[in-house]
Structures are given as structure tokens and as C-alpha cells.
Amino acid sequence: MALECSYCGARAPDDATRCPQCLRATGLEPAAEAPSRAPLSRKHKAAALAVATLLIGGAAAAVSLSKRVRADGERAVREGTASVSSDVPAPFARLDAVTALAGRARDPLAQARSALDALREKLSTHGHTSAQSIEQGLAPSRSIEQLSAAVESRSARFTSLDLARLLYSALDGAGVTVRFARRATGSRPDTAADPSGALGRFVVLVGDHAIDPLDAQPIAARDARATALTAANVTGAMLVQSALASMLSGDRAKATNLLTRAVDQWPDAGIAHAARAIVTRDGLGGGVDESVTRDLATAAVASGDDPAVLLLRARAAVASGDTVLAQTSARLARTKARAWGPAALAQVLAFDANAAGGAGRCDPLIDAREPWTDDALTACRALTASGAAPPESTPAAQRLAAGSRDPMQLALASCALGETQRVPANILTEYAGWLAIAGRADLSQRAMNPEDAGR
């Protein structure tokens, strides 16, 4: 006689000692026998057969509908018109207002150029800016509808990710075969693609061309070193942007949760780990712990030693007092991006004569092209002067100190002027660390303990 579980109703063989469904060992009872029935008449058999046929047909239709709905949903997620995370909107959407950017040209590349020109014209006309650093402020990831409306507003701020999503949606809606990709090179040779190290730089691929909304012209995809992404990867990047926006608004708990989901959606990307290190450092008041060091090491490997990630690693090493790691990371960052000012300045401050190959301390700044690097190079001469500092180094250092809140620039200005600067508490540890590694332990101690100055 078969047994039946009194807890879950599952059937079991008569020699069973435990329910095969809920695994309880106390509830197996003899199963009730089904009552015997009289044979059906021919009329009843025909009716039963008709009902069964209807039921089977209905079930088949339901299964077919379920499969079609599921396939449609999976395709929407795969194409990015539906989100794989409830924390951010769908990456892409097909909207007439956005599709209109692509114009009516028949050639796909011509449509891409038309969309790029139209988008950049709107950005210029309405006074919009692109956020390429976290300090400039960020909005959380928005839907394509919201981004489209923001483009028509005044003085909005967009990330590379925001603009590339708009461009992709415009071309996809116009029927152009496109792919979404991450870019690994900067707009100028030997510069960082993404100065923040955590936001990413994104392009749309049309054939063998990369369309970057931050550039005026398409470039060869190989020159962009573009890597195609899935919709899930794009969702991961959107989660990173929303996480950093949450950090800036003071909600670090939400930021941390979003970054955990970002790693799930894009596990082999470095930006989520880099962003998590930034959020952790923010919570530590600019300090560094083991999780920061671990996340930045992971980010460096995952990004293929991206120069901006390497600079984040150098900054953390300086804040934690790891001179060797700071020097190594700064030197490698500049090797990857020789014309990028921040990497050049990091190498100047963390100067290692044994690894310089005969180059002068200030030489890395010669190739840099940021607006502030001329003043930085002039101020640097005060660090290498054998006698009195050149007279032009003082005003250059003063301009550098007045126009920046970057701890590296402030440290160089302090070294040139021989005096500490007032800095926000969240960058004090790193500022003092750069002073120390630059050879001004006296200024570093004074910065950390201003009450002891003059004793």
C-alpha cells in the first residue's frame, strides 16, 4: 500500500521512512484508496473525450502563449528595451523624438553622423555639459524618456553613458544595426578615456566605426579599442552611475547595495570595483582600509591597467603610506597615458630617481596638456632649483592652489610655496600623504597637526 505525507501530500512507496518531498520522517500514513468506478457508457466516453480534447488544446495554447511572452520578455531584456534590474530603468528605448536624431539618410554611417551632429548641437545650444569627474556632480541613471526631455531643457549634465544610450536608441529606432561598447582610449592620444576611473567611456559601433558623443567625428573602432557590451553590462554601468550619485547625496548604504548588483551584472568590469573603493573611501573620510586596496587591485586587473584606475590606486597608496605601491602605480599610469596631466603630476610628486632613467623630476609635465599643467610645470621648478626658486614659480603655485581642490595639485603648490593649504577634511589624509612622498614631511606633519605649527 502506498504512503502519503500528512504535511505536504506527497506520495511515497510503502517501505519509505521519510517523505521524498519535505523530508519529514513523521507524517507518512497509508494513502486512501481511490473508490472503484463503474465502467463508462459509450455516450459518457465520447463526452469525456471531447472535454479532454478541449482541455489539451487549451493547455497547449496557454503553454504557447507563455513561451511567446517569455521569449518577448527575454528579447526585450537582451535588446535593452526592458531592464534586468528594478533599481534602474531600461538601458534603451525606441522613441520617435529620439529616433528623429538619425535623420533620413539611407547609409548607416551617414545616419550615425546625422545623429551625432544633432545630439551635439542640442547639447551646445542648451548649454549642457558632460560630467567626466565624480566631483562635478552626477544624476542617477535616467530613462531614455527622461534623458530626451533633459536634452531639451537648460544646463543639464550628462555622462558618457547617458549620451551613448541616447545615441544607440536613436540609431536602433531608425533601423540601423548597432552595438553598444566601452571605449579604452581617450579623445587625444596618450590620455585617459575616463578620467574618473569609475564612470566609463562609451561608444556606439556602426560597422567598423565607433561613434562617441563626446567627439565631433566617428573614429575607427580599433582606434577606440572598443569592447562590445550586452544589455546586462550596460545595466551594470547604469547601476554604478546611480551608486556614485547616491554617494554624493549622502546615501552610502544605497550606493553600496547598488554596487553589489552592478558587479552581478558586469562581473568582469573594473568600474564597479573602482566605484566601490571610492564609496568606501568616502565613508572613511578619505582613508583607506583593506577592502579599498582589494577592490582597486581587482579593478586594475579587470580594466587591463587602465591609467585612471592606476591613479586611483596610487592615491589610495599615498593615503595609506605605501610609498612603493604609490610610485609603481603612478609610473605605470603615466606609461599608459603619457599626455594625461594627473598621471604626470603623480609621477612628479612620487618621484623615484632610481626608476627615472635620467629624466628630470618635472619632465613628465612637459607632455601634459590640461589647462592647469603649465602652472604645475612652472611651480615644479621650485622643487628642483639648487638655490632660490625661480620668481615665476610663486605666482604659478598660487594660481594652482586657488583654482583646485585636487590633493595632488594642492600638494605641489604647497611644496613650491613652502606652506600648507587649507583643505577639506575628506582629502586631508591624501594631501598630507602627497606632501610626505614628495619629500616634505615637515609640511605633511603640519597639515595633519596644524595646532602644533609654530611650537
CA neighbor of 267 nearest in space, from 220, 306, 235: 235
* Calpha distance 120→113 (Å, rounded): 11
> What was the pLDDT predicted at 74?
43
Inside any domain, residue 20? yes
- What pLDDT band is residue 127 in, cutting at 50, 70 and 90? confident
| pTM of the predicted model as reported, rounded to 2 decimal places | 0.81
- What pLDDT band is residue 126 in, cutting at 50, 70 and 90? confident
What are the distances in angstroms from CA 176 to CA 105, 108, 115, 371? 11, 6, 11, 39
**203 pLDDT more than 80:** yes
Q: Based on the fold, state whether residues 6 and 120 are members of the same structural domain.
A: no
**28 pLDDT more than 50:** yes
* Calpha distance 173→167 (Å, rounded): 10
CA neighbor of 73 nearest in space, from 65, 173, 243: 65
Cβ–Cβ under 8 Å, residues 275 and 296: no
Inside any domain, residue 169? yes
Mean pLDDT of 50-55: 55
Cα atoms found within 13 Å of the Cα of residue 336, Cβ hemisphere only: 25
All 3 cell numbers of residue 380? 615644479
Lowest average pLDDT, out of 7-21, 130-144, 154-168, 184-198, goes to 7-21
Q: Based on the fold, state whether residues 24 and 123 are members of the same structural domain.
A: no
Inside any domain, residue 79? no
* Calpha distance 24→270 (Å, rounded): 47
**104 pLDDT more than 60:** yes
Inside any domain, residue 127? yes
Cβ–Cβ under 8 Å, residues 204 and 142: no
Q: Based on the fold, state whether residues 227 and 101 are members of the same structural domain.
A: yes
CATH number of the structural domain spanning residue 153: 3.10.620
Q: How many domains would you assign to the chain?
A: 2
Q: Containing domain of residue 155, as a range?
A: 96-232
> What was the pLDDT predicted at 76?
54
> What was the pLDDT predicted at 450?
81
Q: Based on the fold, state whether residues 100 and 24 are members of the same structural domain.
A: no
What are the distances in angstroms from CA 326 to CA 143, 198, 315, 371? 39, 19, 7, 25
> What was the pLDDT predicted at 21?
52
More confident residue, 55 or 152: 152
Q: What is the DSSP letter of 212?
A: -
String of DSSP letters for 342-391: HHHHHHHHT--GGGSTT--TTGGGGS--STTHHHHHHHHHHHH-SSSPPT
Mean pLDDT of 424-450: 95
Q: Tens digit of pLDDT for each residue in 269-319?
A: 899 999 999 999 999 999 999 999 999 999 999 999 999 999 999 999 999
Q: Tens digit of pLDDT for each residue in 328-385?
A: 999 999 999 999 999 999 999 999 988 888 899 999 999 999 999 999 999 999 999 8
Q: How far apart are the first and last CA of the chain?
A: 96
Mean pLDDT of 23-36: 62
Inside any domain, residue 237? no
Give the domain-ending residue among 232, 249, 282.
Answer: 232
Please give the radius of gyration of the chain, using alpha carbons only, rounded to the nearest integer: 31
Cβ–Cβ under 8 Å, residues 256 and 272: no
> What was the pLDDT predicted at 451?
73
Q: Based on the fold, state whether residues 24 and 130 are members of the same structural domain.
A: no
Cβ–Cβ under 8 Å, residues 229 and 132: no
Q: Which residue has the cell 548604504?
A: 253
Inside any domain, residue 423? no
Average pLDDT value over all residues in the chain: 87
Mean pLDDT of 68-90: 63
> b/e map of 211-220 (b: 16 or more CB within 10 Å)?
bbbbbeebbe
Cβ–Cβ under 8 Å, residues 228 and 180: yes
Q: Based on the fold, state whether residues 20 and 140 are members of the same structural domain.
A: no
Taking residue 416's Cβ as centre, other Cβ atoms within 10 Å add up to 26
